[in-house]
Amino acid sequence: MPWELGISEAHQTLVLNGLRSRVCLQVDGELKTGRDLVIAAMLGAEEMGFATGPLVVLGCTMIRKCHTNLCPVGINTQDPVFRARFTGKPAHVQRFFHFTAAEVRQIIARLSVRRFDELIGRVDLLEVNDAVSHWKSYNVDLAPLLSSVVRTNPATEVYCTCKQDYGLDKVMDNELIARAKDAIEFKHPIEWEQKIHNTDRAVGTMLSHAIAKKWGAAGLPENCLTIRFRRSAGQSFGAWLNKGMTFFLEGDANDYVGKGLSGGRLVIFPQKNSVFKARENIMVEMATPEDKDLEQILSLVKNHYQYTRSEVAQDLIADWNVRKKEFVRIMPADYKKVFQAPKAGVVAI
């Protein structure tokens, strides 16, 4: 569905139900110019998301190789050879948005509109371009799209005017930040235990922000801040966990664990009184038959045992010379090509 249809329908429905003042609508999808922004606002959007435009400004040549790790301009790749080709700068994106904003100001000035908010929902300022004639457009009726909403209550707002209370003052991270003050300010090692419930979502996100705000990408020293949680964690536990942070969780967690992990460490294992065996609830298998990979796996298993005291890891380490033969290597064919191409000096663009 084109974004024009989606934003228009969402805006009109919210206005008709008297809910538009409580909601901020954002639209995205091939927005590249100031004109696109103005049209989006007239159809009901307050916020606009950009993707392709800024990427092109940073040097993207639209090769469509984003999923292969072979981005030739070094934007979407982890390969150091390609990353060295990246020439984009923050100033390029900044200038792009300055020019876009200038175009928006020129257009709304021509429309005699003072503020951007006054554009929202003003479909009366749009009209169909009759000069565009194409057989595909003969049966397209844009009247519903360009119809002004009839407000049942004259006091109903047509854009967001009521700020929502997201309850951020009540989230667990406020407590964590207060208790971790010495670690955040002075890098003093701190460790404590903490109960957690499944209503505690994105635990660690605000704490990571506080650390990044103070120390940047460097974060904290290794194991500077350790928190041992117990019971059930909510969604996005340990999201964007920063360097130097270690979260232990004796219990279980919901989806998106470790989302955007940024150098921190997450260790999750069942509670001691669990009625199930962890080894019988495995969703993925480890892989690998090469000597260097076996060495890496042994190192990972030892590390895993150090933090979790896993019985499976203990058995593997004790009988490693025999048990290592049980591992097999699993690698998608396409990923194998990408993995081997730089070594051979051949890259297919």
**Domain for residue 127, yes or no?**
yes
217, 329: one domain: no
In terms of pLDDT, which residue wins out, 319 or 134? 319
What is the pLDDT, as a whole number, of residue 347?
Answer: 47
What is the pLDDT, as a whole number, of residue 198?
Answer: 93
| Mean pLDDT on 232-253 | 93
> What CATH code is carried by the domain that includes residue 237?
2.160.20.60
**Domain for residue 196, yes or no?**
yes
Binned at pLDDT 50, 70 and 90, residue 289 comes out as low
In terms of pLDDT, which residue wins out, 248 or 2? 248
119, 187: one domain: no
Which tokens sit at 215? 């120390």
41, 88: one domain: yes
What is the pLDDT, as a whole number, of residue 103?
Answer: 96
Given a cut of 70, whether residue 253 has pLDDT beyond it is yes
**Domain for residue 125, yes or no?**
yes
- Residue 263's DSSP bridge partners are 242
15, 77: one domain: yes
Q: What is the pTM of this model?
A: 0.60
Question: What pLDDT digit, counting tens, does each position of 44-77 carry?
Answer: 999 999 988 999 999 999 988 888 888 999 998 8
Q: Which of 55, 75, 79, 59 is nearest to 335 (CA)?
A: 79
CA distance 227 to 249: 9
**Domain for residue 163, yes or no?**
no
Question: What pLDDT digit, counting tens, does each position of 137-162 carry?
Answer: 778 888 888 888 877 777 788 888 88
CB 270 within 8 A of CB 278: yes
Question: What pLDDT digit, counting tens, does each position of 125-134 carry?
Answer: 988 887 777 7
Question: What pLDDT digit, counting tens, does each position of 188-242 carry?
Answer: 999 999 999 999 999 999 999 999 999 998 999 999 999 999 999 999 999 999 9
- Count how many domains the chain has: 3
CB 201 within 8 A of CB 235: yes
173, 250: one domain: yes
Instruction: Look at 22-26, 68-72, 340-344 and tell me which has the smallest mean pLDDT.
Output: 340-344
**Domain for residue 152, yes or no?**
no
3-state secondary structure the chain: CCHHHHHHHHHHHHHHCCCHHHCCCEEECCCCCHHHHHHHHHCCCCEEECCHHHHHHCCCCCCCCHHHCCCCCCCCCCCHHHHCCCCCCHHHHHHHHHHHHHHHHHHHHHCCCCCHHHHCCCHHHCCCCCCCCCHHHCCCCCCCCCCCCCCCCCCCCCCCCCCCCCCHHHCHHHHHHHHCHHHHHHCCCEEEEEEECCCCCCCCHHHHHHHHHHHHHHCCCCCCEEEEEEEEECCCCCCCCECCEEEEEEEEECCCCCCCCEECEEEEECCCCCCCCHHHCCCCCCCCCCHHHHHHHHHHHHHHHHHHCCHHHHHHHHCHHHHHHHCCCCCCHHHHHHHHHHHHCCCCC
Given a cut of 60, whether residue 104 has pLDDT beyond it is yes
**Domain for residue 154, yes or no?**
no
Query: Looking up tokens 């064919």, which residue turns up?
Result: 333
268, 319: one domain: no
Q: Give the percent of the chain with pLDDT over 90.
A: 52
CA distance 70 to 58: 16
Residue 322 structural domain: 284-349
**Domain for residue 236, yes or no?**
yes
Given a cut of 60, whether residue 284 has pLDDT beyond it is no
Please give the mean pLDDT across all residues of the chain.
87
Binned at pLDDT 50, 70 and 90, residue 279 comes out as low
What is the pLDDT, as a whole number, of residue 98?
Answer: 96
257, 317: one domain: no
**Domain for residue 251, yes or no?**
yes
